[in-house]
Amino acid sequence: MTAYWAEQAWVGGVVEPGVVMETDAALGQLTAVRTGVAAPPPGATVLRGLTVPGLANAHSHAFHRALRGTVQVGSGTFWTWREVMYGVADRLTPETYYDLARALYAEMALAGITCVGEFHYVHHAPGGGRYGDPNAMGHALAGAAAAAGIRVTLLDTAYLAAGFGEGPGRQQLRFSDGDAEAWAERATELSRATGSDTASGPGPGAPSDTDAGADTPAAPGTVRVGAAVHSVRAVPADQLATVAAWAADRDAPLHVHLSEQPAENEACAAAHGVTPARLLADHGVLGPRTTAVHATHLTGDDVALLGRSGTGVCMCPTTERDLADGIGPAPAVERAGSPLSLGSDSHAVVDLFEEARAMELNERLRTRRRGHWTAHHLLRAATEGGYAALGWHRPARLERGGYADFTTVALDSVRTAGAMPRLGAETAVFAATAADVRHTVVAGRHVVRDGAHALVDDVPGALTAAIAALRG
């Protein structure tokens, strides 16, 4: 048992002074939360600033971190950016992917992110050859998250085609399992090996929440496996139901890139006569366990389809603007019934405060009106909204029985100084950056203390070395 005393904490949607949180690291849960405690109890760890539930990065492609800076040279579109991305993907090995993801996930912890959804599709060796362990790349990612001290939902991704009516191109060969049945077989092995396969249970001798090669074992229950459809262009329509059924059998989260580009919508209409959202609905992919990522170019009927089915929507504003994708209809999908979450996707920056405020500020630019969401609403999307989208069903809130995951934001930095404490949520969302995070606790373990990572000594150095190893 460990006790923390927060100078200010966001509890029940209100900023409260003097909050004691007791954690059980064996369970990874909060066992007690008490407000109105004026001074730290003996032995309690003091958290100066505003403590909020852990931030959830609901959409990540870890290897894209190696593109930061490089892809800002010259001009182009999403499609020209994609060619550069393929070049990096082609140079990944299980060892280099582990190193890069460990450094990236440590960067996330420093930014207050306690849980990440890794949209994982680099499954095989370059050219499509199989590793001795078909899930070597997935295990590398799980191990990297353990070494960085954060939770991960590995969204094992079906990526089978280069486009409608096409097989995988050269760049996609290492992503493809051949067909959805083969994908499901390999995904089941990964799920069993991590102890998260509720359909069949862990296999003989399978590790439970192990680090798969990390120096530090995972905290109990910090690795889960879900599923993803890369996109309607990458999974043939007659195989969508297989992926959806795999996730349904396990009550696992199911994610899908949806309508990120108008070209995807146009190609889907030409091939099937419907929008991507309608195609997904017709094949049983939409529903309350499903999260549509981006959802940038939707029709009114698409918005209604997502909302009626309870399908969530993950917005990734920094990537969407970096790639010139456009501004998605976040207010409309939420009004229709779709819960919102946030992701950093390509990691143009790793900063969930920036993602949260960007969603609001994008709407201000589009509508020339302020106040589409309150700071508290945006914080919920960045915390419990992301946890729910990633299949973590306990409360992602500062309350008894919730996850012992939280982060503390300085209220005395050059960006945040001077604000009234009761407006701490507004300060965090609309002024703070990842650089203002002072503490991160995951499953009761103090992963970031006073701005320093407890498990990775030199995060910038680790990033530098891992990215240099992937340069062509």
Q: How far is Cα 183 from Cα 231, in angstroms, rounded to an integer?
A: 15
Catalytic residue check, 294: yes
Contact between residue 432 and residue 353 where contact means Cβ atoms under 8 Å apart = yes
Q: Which residues, including other chains, have CB under 8 Å from residue 428's CB and lie 6 or more apart? A: 50, 52, 353, 375, 379, 409, 416, 436
Pairing of strands 312-315, 445-449: unpaired
Report the amino acid identity of residue 409: V
Question: 446 catalytic, yes or no?
Answer: no
Single out the catalytic residue among 177, 197, 345, 405: 345
Taking alpha carbons only, the member of 332, 330, 326 closest to residue 340 is: 330
Helix (H) or strand (E) holding 113: strand 113-120
* Residue of 99, 180, 174, 191 lying closest to 138 (CA atoms): 191
Nearest CA-CA partner of 190 in 159, 144, 219, 155: 155
Q: Which helix (H) or strand (E) holds 453?
A: strand 452-453
How many CB atoms are closer than 10 A to CB 468? Answer: 9
Determine which one of 294, 347, 372, 446 is catalytic: 294
- The length of the chain, given as a count of residues: 472
205: left (phi over 0), alpha (psi -120 to 50) or beta: left
The long-range contacts involving 187-190, CB below 8 angstroms and separated by at least 24 positions, are 187/156, 187/225, 187/227, 187/246, 188/246, 189/134, 189/135, 190/135, 190/138, 190/139, 190/154, 190/156, 190/225
Can you say how many angstroms the Cα of residue 460 is from the centroid of all Cα atoms in its chain? 21
The answer for residues whose C-beta is within 8 angstroms of residue 71's C-beta and 6 or more apart is 81, 84, 85
Distance of CA 87 to the CA centre of its chain: 23
What are the catalytic residues?
A: 294, 345
